[in-house]
Amino acid sequence: MKVLIDIGHPAHVHFFRQPIRLLADRGHRIIITSRNKEFALELLDELGLTHNPLSAMGKGGIVSLASELIRRNLALWKVIRREKPDIMAAIGGVSIAQVGALARIPSLVFYDTENATLQNAVTYPFASAVVVPQCYEAWLPRRRHIRYPGYHELSYLHPDYFSPDREVAVRNGLAENSDTFLVRLVSWQANHDIGERGWKNDLLSKLVHKLSSKGKVLISAESPLTDEMKPYGYQGSKKDVHHVMAFCRAYIGESATMASESAVLGVPAVYAAKTGRGYTNEQERRYGLVRNLRQLHWPQLSELIDELLNSSVESYIDANQQLLRETIDVAAFVAKCIETFPEPLSAFQESEGR
């Protein structure tokens, strides 16, 4: 079987790398199309995965995104005509859903972001199936969706696939003899970020001042840092950041993905952004591993950090063990969905009594 995997973001590389390996080990041929966003192409290259770049991220905004989508769809159509895949899969999946519908090639869209309303509106109606975590809180196509108990981040950070290495973490910036705090800033240029705004410089300055009095601060940022913040910038290898994260005392940032990564690694997190996610809501409600902050004001953020640091490390370890017991091997599930489609969809419909 020929499987086309479309990669649009570095997080997509992480999500699909284990399913790609599992499928390849079973004799399936994998075709990878890619998008030049941040370090997605570099990650694919580092992993030795051959890929076909179809487009590059523009300046952000709806006009730029729409223009890129047209170019990407045309480029994907050419790849499909040449390679003739049996099935396609992607996170978000606008292009594979739209082009797949025209080419009559099944498309599996894996997603977990409810506030990407415009993207989902032009994707879900065309997708063969939409596959989401059980905690997903938004609209789904009634007869064409599959839910599973887990999170995207378990596709690559599940203990079966990832073992944190402290020596690697120290080489990449982790403090050897004190706490380390990881801060993440995003560029707000993704399609699900339209209308969203990030932290003000004053909020970041107060946060770094507070955390630096308690340990080392590392800032991972999609956009250039100010002169004041540059000394805190993460200088380690991008592919090794999860080793660093696993040994941090806490994560605080604008990235829901990195908050969830922290949770599945047993590291407490504060996700501070105006729009929420079903998965971080569940990780707060069910496990207490994430604190969700919607009002970006310093007193509230400072209070959440104090609550987090006043809780014992052992309590987060216990919560993480509960999370792992109650979720699945997502990489194996993704590979099975791709390999056996449409059987998973039929099984879902039977379980729902449809």
Question: Is there a single domain that holds both residue 177 and residue 243?
Answer: yes
Cβ atoms of 211 and 229 within 8 Å: the answer is no
Residue 160 included in any domain: no
Q: What is the CATH number of the domain that holds 63?
A: 3.40.50.2000
Cβ atoms of 104 and 98 within 8 Å: the answer is no
Per-residue confidence of the chain (354 residues) as pLDDT tens digits?
999 999 999 899 999 999 999 999 999 999 999 999 888 999 999 899 999 999 888 766 788 888 999 999 999 999 999 999 999 999 999 999 999 999 999 999 999 999 888 999 999 999 999 999 999 999 999 889 999 999 999 999 999 999 999 999 999 999 999 999 999 998 644 444 434 456 888 999 999 999 999 999 999 998 889 999 999 999 999 889 999 999 999 999 999 999 999 999 999 999 999 888 999 999 999 999 999 999 899 999 999 999 999 999 999 999 999 999 999 999 999 999 999 999 877 666 545 543
Q: How many CA atoms lie within 13 A of 169 on its CB side?
A: 21
**Four-residue CA torsion sign, 98, 100, 106, 108:** negative
Question: Is there a single domain that holds both residue 202 and residue 187?
Answer: yes
Cα 285–chain centre separation: 20
- Entry pTM: 0.91
**Four-residue CA torsion sign, 107, 132, 329, 293:** positive
Instruction: Identify each DSSP E strand in the chain by its residue range.
Output: 2-6, 29-36, 52-56, 87-91, 107-110, 129-133, 145-148, 180-185, 216-221, 250-253, 269-272, 290-293
Residue 158 included in any domain: no
Cβ atoms of 123 and 97 within 8 Å: the answer is yes
Question: Is there a single domain that holds both residue 258 and residue 342?
Answer: no
Q: State how far the Cα of 315 lies from the Cα of 173, in Å rounded to an integer.
A: 26
Question: Is there a single domain that holds both residue 146 and residue 204?
Answer: no
Question: Is there a single domain that holds both residue 140 and residue 234?
Answer: no
Q: How many CA atoms lie within 13 A of 265 on its CB side?
A: 28
Question: Is there a single domain that holds both residue 306 and residue 183?
Answer: yes
Question: Is there a single domain that holds both residue 51 and residue 171?
Answer: no
Residue 285 included in any domain: yes
**Four-residue CA torsion sign, 286, 287, 288, 291:** negative
Question: Is there a single domain that holds both residue 171 and residue 260?
Answer: yes
Cβ atoms of 259 and 251 within 8 Å: the answer is yes
In terms of Cα–Cα distance, which of 70, 72, 99 is closest to 87? 99
Question: Is there a single domain that holds both residue 78 and residue 227?
Answer: no
Q: Residue 294: how many CB atoms within 10 A of its CB?
A: 11
Task: Supply 15's token pair.
Answer: 């999500």
* Residue-range definition of the domain harbouring residue 307: 166-325
Residue 161 included in any domain: no
Residue 157 included in any domain: no
Question: Is there a single domain that holds both residue 333 and residue 317?
Answer: no
Residue 38 included in any domain: yes
Cβ atoms of 231 and 218 within 8 Å: the answer is no
Give every CB contact of residue 53 below 8 A, 6+ residues apart in sequence.
Answer: 33, 34, 35, 36, 41
Question: Is there a single domain that holds both residue 77 and residue 13?
Answer: yes
Residue 34 included in any domain: yes
Number of separate domains in the chain: 2
* Residues counted in the chain: 354
Question: Is there a single domain that holds both residue 305 and residue 199?
Answer: yes
